[in-house]
Amino acid sequence: MLRPLLLTALCGLTAAGDRPNILFIFTDDHAPHAIGAYGGWLSTVDTTPNLDQLAAEGMLFRRSFCTNSICGPSRAVILTGKHSHKNGFMNNGNQFDGDQQTFPKLLQGVGYKTAMIGKWHLRSDPQGFDHWDVLPGQGDYYNPVLINKDGKRQVEGYCTDIVTDLAIEWLDGNAGGDEPFLLMCQHKAPHRTWMPAARHLNLWDEVDLPEAPTLFDRHLDDASPARFQEMEIDRHMNIVYDTFQTPFEGWDPAAGFANDGSGFRNLEKMTPAQRQAWDAAFADENAAMLQAGLEGDDLVRWKYQRYLKNYLRCIRGVDESVGRLRAYLEEHDLDDNTVVVYSSDQGFYLGDHGWFDKRWMYEESLAMPLIVHWPSVTAPGSECDAMVQNLDYAETFLEMAGAAIPGDMQGRSLAPLLRGQAPDDWRTSIYYHYYEFPSIHRVARHYGIRTERYKLIRYYQFGEWELFDLLADPDELRNVHGDPAYDRVTAGLMRQLEDLRVGYDDDSDVSVMPADWQAEFRAGR
């Protein structure tokens, strides 16, 4: 006779034999290559010990991608299990229709307590949650305003710590009873502009972080939109707003385009003690930089080091949050029956291709981190190479909970993969569509297909294409569209791409812009 623990594991249940609790920890703009467990050129920097431990105890997904690399749309896809054109939230200017079907509502229907705490970013009040406490818009790193059903309030402290405190406070009152829970703990960090907690301001002060191998990529053979964006560390990263250089004589607040002054304004909301710690951390470096009179590549490298250090310092705060939440589960005997999921809304450019931000279908912004710890179900230290998307999260949570998966959802449950299975009919390609143009950073609309080896992208407003052979060119430095050697591959991918568009019922307008509009775009500012 099988022992009970083994029997429940074989059945895909948890050790306790109950429907599992689900703790979904979600961040904004956390690139997979800024997590130690994923390896890569930043892996020598000890940034994420708690996330690395989570990966060692669970499953790390190597080919995890978004459907639309921008904050709000990614969140809407996760809630609905539907592509942007189906859930109605295609860019950050939209407002999410909370009346539609979402997985938290469906979990409520099968007896789950549900809570949403932290960054919501969908321009509507959350629905499907018994409790919610969210940041307005992007929120602030220091002393943020929070909104719940009773109204607004300002909370003193650092945002990542506050969100974690509120999540633990909710667990104190709601975890451990007869009803399982879904807790969505969603952080602002490490979103622009990058403001670490005071305790992390001096991390890596004495070292130079590794340099992105493609930091000085000039995009000479890419489609033209790649050269006319506004997200370069060189030309577009504002020296004061983005790197917190002290304002100096001759500084132009408008320099850089696509500016975000929210962090600079947040400095004025700090308490005297917070501001003193902040200014002390950067004053000497700022003065030395101005005295050095840096220009050209030297200035790019200075901005890069300051930006990347602050970005990783923000992530250290998130990593500590993961550790605190997991410690709470263990201390309260909840860890054996709680699935812990870590993800972020998309990837991010960490100087890759000379850029910051996201939006593109290139790997650094297409890829999402996904780490899942499902006790007694997922083998510790396992990795999955199957192609998955944020489109699959809703279906996964529903299957974990034993709830029915609606037929109009467009993704697929990852539960079989988490159980170590390899379904023969798993997808061999993914579909992507980015809509937010014209808008900040001036990234052209595009859609495309990624297979295990190739990526085909169509910038339909400009009538241009890109094709990358990811096996021969993993850094996507050579656009081979139009190369006769790839004609057969191109034709096949075009057919597959159209099949995906039809299969996902994407009837979005993909017309070419008038020639004079294209010329105005390429002329820049």
Domains of the chain (ranges plus CATH)?
20-194+312-428 (3.40.720.10), 431-523 (3.30.1120.10)
Model confidence pLDDT, tens digit, residues 101-122: 999 999 999 999 999 999 999 9
pLDDT value at residue 525: 52
Confidence of residue 523 (pLDDT cuts 50, 70, 90): confident
- CA pseudo-torsion sign 221, 231, 454, 42: positive
pLDDT value at residue 256: 79
Model confidence pLDDT, tens digit, residues 219-277: 999 999 999 999 999 999 999 999 999 999 988 888 878 899 999 999 999 999 999 99
Mean pLDDT of 59-86: 98
Mean pLDDT of 483-500: 98
What is the spatial distance between Cα 176 and Cα 15, in angstroms, rounded to a whole number?
Answer: 15
Mean pLDDT of 472-482: 97
pLDDT value at residue 521: 83
Q: In this model, does residue 67 exceed pLDDT 90?
A: yes
Q: In this model, does residue 4 exceed pLDDT 50?
A: no
What is the spatial distance between Cα 75 and Cα 417, in angstroms, rounded to a whole number?
Answer: 22
Identity of the residue numbered 137: G
Q: In this model, does residue 215 exceed pLDDT 60?
A: yes
Token pair belonging to 32: 């997979």
What is the spatial distance between Cα 433 and Cα 12, in angstroms, rounded to a whole number?
Answer: 34
Terminal Cα distance for the chain, rounded: 74
pLDDT value at residue 255: 81
Mean pLDDT of 476-481: 98
Share above pLDDT 90 across residues of the chain, in percent, rounded to a whole number: 91
pLDDT value at residue 5: 29
Q: What is the mean pLDDT of the chain?
A: 94
What is the spatial distance between Cα 416 and Cα 418, in angstroms, rounded to a whole number?
Answer: 5
Residue 337 CA neighbour count, 13 Å, CB half = 20
Contacts for 485 with CB less than 8 Å, ≥ 6 apart: none
- CA pseudo-torsion sign 480, 486, 491, 496: negative
How big is the chain, counted in residues? 525
What is the spatial distance between Cα 13 and Cα 461, in angstroms, rounded to a whole number?
Answer: 48
Helices 159-174 and 296-331, interaxial angle, to 10°?
20
Strands 181-186 and 388-389: unpaired
Contacts for 201 with CB less than 8 Å, ≥ 6 apart: 277, 278, 281, 282, 313
Backbone angles phi, psi at 54, to 5 degrees: -60, -45
What is the spatial distance between Cα 381 and Cα 395, in angstroms, rounded to a whole number?
Answer: 23
pLDDT value at residue 394: 98
Identity of the residue numbered 444: A
